[in-house]
Every structure is written in C-alpha cells, then in structure tokens.
Amino acid sequence: MKELVSRCPIEEVMQVLSGRWPTLLLYYLKDGTKRFSDLRRDNPTVSHKMLTQELRKLEKAGIVQRTTFEGYPLRVEYDLTPAGLGLVPLIDALGDWWEETEDARLGTGRLIERAVQAST
C-alpha cells in the first residue's frame, strides 16, 4: 500500500476501491450476508490470498463487517456496514455513467479533429 502525498479524500477512497475486487465484492455483498466460501464461488478467479487480503482492506476501511463463529468447521460471515451500504449507489452511478456515455465517449474525439494547428 503506497503512501499518499496529500490527504485528499478522493485519493483515499480510490486507494481502497482501486483494483479488480473491491467493487465486485461490494456488488456481491449488497445482496446480504456472505460466507468466505460464498464469495469464492461468486468470484471463481480470485485467489484465496487475494480474497482475504481485499476483505481485510475493506474491513479496515469500515466498509465491510467481519463476523466469526467459533467451532469446527470454522465459519466467517461478511456483511456491508451501514456506511458500506451507502457506498453502493455511488458505485452503481459510475456503472450507469459508463453505459450511458458509451456513445458519447467513443464518438467524441474521433470525428472532431482539432489537431494539427500551427503554434507560434
């Protein structure tokens, strides 16, 4: 985890949400409680190590709640915290934006050729 220069809140959230798994985990956890093994099944390509690591990161950030149940076999459940729940619609908004702007994003900048002007 690389140190940040500034204390910019955007840098800080992105530090937590960056990468392939955080938002995916959010996505699966918004349906409700999931066990560790459930999350592995939801994301077949995540490695055992990465999953624990990313869940820990989200836990430390106060986005997910980890609950352990003693006994054998071991059992651990993950939920979104209230704060984490509030994050979900913001992530969804990003996904919506991505879809809605698809035409605009791929159109703009290809047809408009402002380039090749002479500078002083």
Partner DNA sequence: CGGTATCCTCGGAGATACTG
Partner DNA sequence: CAGTATCTCCGAGGATACCG
**CA 50 – CA 41 distance, rounded (Å):** 14
> Is residue 50 a contact residue for a second copy (CB under 8 A)?
no
Subset of residues 43 to 72 that bind DNA, contact rule: CB under 7 A: 46-53, 55-56, 66
> Is residue 49 a contact residue for a second copy (CB under 8 A)?
no
Subset of residues 87 to 116 that bind DNA, contact rule: CB under 7 A: none
* CB-CB contact of 63 with 83 (8 Å): yes
**CA 85 – CA 53 distance, rounded (Å):** 20
Assess whether the previous peptide bond of 22 is cis (omega < 30° from 0).
no
**CA 62 – CA 28 distance, rounded (Å):** 17
* Shortest Cβ 99–DNA spacing (Å): 26
> Is residue 76 a contact residue for DNA (CB under 7 A)?
yes
Count CB neighbours of 26 within 10 A: 21
> Is residue 12 a contact residue for a second copy (CB under 8 A)?
yes
> Is residue 63 a contact residue for a second copy (CB under 8 A)?
yes
Interface positions with DNA (CB under 7 A): 1-2, 19, 35-37, 40, 46-53, 55-56, 66, 73-76
